[in-house]
Amino acid sequence: MGIRFIIMVNKQGQTRLAQYYEWLTLEERRALEGEIVRKCLARTDHQCSFVDHRNYKIVYRRYASLFFMVGVDGDECELDIMFHLEKAHFMLEEMVMNGCIVETSKANILSPIQLMDKAH
Amino acid sequence: MEQLKTIGRELAMGSQGGFGQSKEFLDLVKSIGEARSKAEEDRIVLSEIDILKRKLLEPDIPKRKMKEYIIRLVYIEMLGHDASFGYIHAVKMTHDDNLLLKRTGYLAVTLFLNEDHDLIILIVNTIQKDLRSDNYLVVCAALNAICRLINEETIPAVLPQVVDLLNHQKEAVRKKAIMALHRFHRKSPSSVSHLVSNFRKRLCDNDPGVMGATLCPLFDLISEDVASYKDLVSSFVSILKQVTERRLPKSYDYHQMPAPFIQIKLLKIMALLGSGDKSASEIMYMVLGDLFRKCDSSTNIGNAILYECICCISCIIPSPKLLEAAADAISKFLKSDSHNLKYMGIDGLGRLIKISPDIAEQHQLAVIDCLEDPDDTLKRKTFELLYKMTKSSNVEVIVDRMIDYMISINDNHYKTEIASRCVELAEQFAPSNQWFIQIMNKVFEHAGDLVNIKVAHNLMRLIAEGFGEDDDDADSKLRLSAVESYLQIISEPKLPSLFLQVISWVLGEYGTADGKYSASYISGKLCDVADAYSSDETVKGYAVSALMKIYAFEIASGRKVDVLPECQSLIEELLASHSTDLQQRAYELQALLALDARAVESILPLDASCEDIEVDKDLSFLNGYIQQAIESGAQPYISERERSGMLETTDYHSQDHHEVPSHALRFEAYERPKPSSVPTQASTELVPVPEPSYYSEAHQPISTSSVSERESSEIKLRLDGVKQKWGRPSYQSSTSASSTPPQAANGTSSHPDVGVGSSSLKPRSSYESKKPEIDPEKQRLAASLFGGSSTSRSDRKSSSGGHKPAKGTANKPPKENPIPVQPPPDLLDFGEPTATSVTATDPFTELEGLMDYSSQDGGSTDVMGLYSDAAPVTTTTSVDSLLSELSDSSKGNPGTYQSQTSKGPNSKEALEKDALVRQMGVNPTSQNPTLFKDLLG
* Virtual torsion, Cα B836, B811, B859, B737, nearest 10 deg: 50
- Identify the three-state secondary structure at position A8: strand
Question: Which of B 268-297 lie inside 8 A of A, CB atoms?
Answer: none
> Minimal Cα–Cα distance from A68 to chain B, Å?
12
B258 close contact with A: CB closer than 8 A: no
**Confidence band, pLDDT 50/70/90 cuts, at residue A104:** confident
B460 neighbors B505 (Cβ within 8 angstroms): yes
Question: What number of CA atoms fall less than 13 Å from residue A29's CA on the CB side?
Answer: 24
> Minimal Cα–Cα distance from A118 to chain B, Å?
10
Q: Is the pLDDT of residue A63 over 60?
A: yes
Instruction: Give the predicted TM-score (pTM) of the model.
Output: 0.63
> Minimal Cα–Cα distance from A42 to chain B, Å?
11
Chain A CB contacts of B29 under 8 Å are 79, 82-83
B178 neighbors B160 (Cβ within 8 angstroms): no
Indicate the length of chain B as a whole number: 937
- Identify the three-state secondary structure at position B598: helix
A61 close contact with B: CB closer than 8 A: no
Determine the pLDDT at residue B269: 96
DSSP state string for B424-460? HHHHHH-S-HHHHHHHHHHHHHHHTTTS-HHHHHHHH
Determine the pLDDT at residue A79: 52
B137 close contact with A: CB closer than 8 A: yes
Does A48 sit within 8 Å of B41, measured CB to CB? no
A62 close contact with B: CB closer than 8 A: no
Name the nearest CA neighbour of A82 among A107, A65, A58.
A65
Q: Which of A17, A87, A98 sits opposite B183 (nearest CB)?
A: A98
Determine the pLDDT at residue B746: 43
Q: Which of A26, A48, A112 sits opposite B137 (nearest CB)?
A: A112
Chain B CB contacts of A73 under 8 Å are 1, 4
B175 close contact with A: CB closer than 8 A: yes
Q: What are phi and psi of B275, to 5 degrees?
A: -65, 120
Q: Which residues of chain B have pLDDT under 70?
A: 1-20, 467-471, 608, 610-611, 613, 644-774, 787-937
Residues 6+ apart with CB under 8 A from B598: none
Residues 6+ apart with CB under 8 A from B549: B508, B509, B604, B705
DSSP 8-class letter at B316: B
DSSP state string for B809-855? TTT-HHHHTT--SSPPP--TTTHHHIIIIIGGG-HHHHHHHHHHHHH
Determine the pLDDT at residue B470: 61
| Rounded Cα distance, B475 and B469, in Å | 9
Determine the pLDDT at residue B10: 64
pLDDT tens digits, B514-535: 778 888 888 888 888 888 888 8
pLDDT tens digits, B286-317: 999 999 998 888 888 899 999 999 999 999 99
Which of A7, A54, A104, A115 should one mutate to test binding to chain B, selecting the residue with the greatest count of B CBs within 10 A?
A104
Does A81 sit within 8 Å of B11, measured CB to CB? yes
Question: Which of A 91-120 lie inside 8 A of B, CB atoms?
Answer: 91, 93, 97-98, 100-117, 119-120
What do you get for the CA distance between the two ends of chain B, in Å? 32
B312 close contact with A: CB closer than 8 A: no
Determine the pLDDT at residue B11: 65
B329 neighbors B359 (Cβ within 8 angstroms): no
Does A87 sit within 8 Å of B99, measured CB to CB? no
Does B1 sit within 8 Å of A75, measured CB to CB? yes
- Closest residue of chain B to A25, computed from CA coordinates: B114
Does A103 sit within 8 Å of B213, measured CB to CB? yes
B584 neighbors B703 (Cβ within 8 angstroms): no
B846 neighbors B793 (Cβ within 8 angstroms): no
A45 close contact with B: CB closer than 8 A: no
A31 close contact with B: CB closer than 8 A: no
Which of A32, A40, A43, A80 should one mutate to test binding to chain B, selecting the residue with the greatest count of B CBs within 10 A?
A80
How many other CB atoms are there within 10 angstroms of residue B188's CB atom?
16
> Minimal Cα–Cα distance from B392 to chain A, Å?
29
Does B249 sit within 8 Å of A48, measured CB to CB? no
- Closest residue of chain A to B6, computed from CA coordinates: A106
Name the nearest CA neighbour of B687 among B651, B639, B644.
B651
| Rounded Cα distance, B463 and B483, in Å | 10
Determine the pLDDT at residue B661: 46
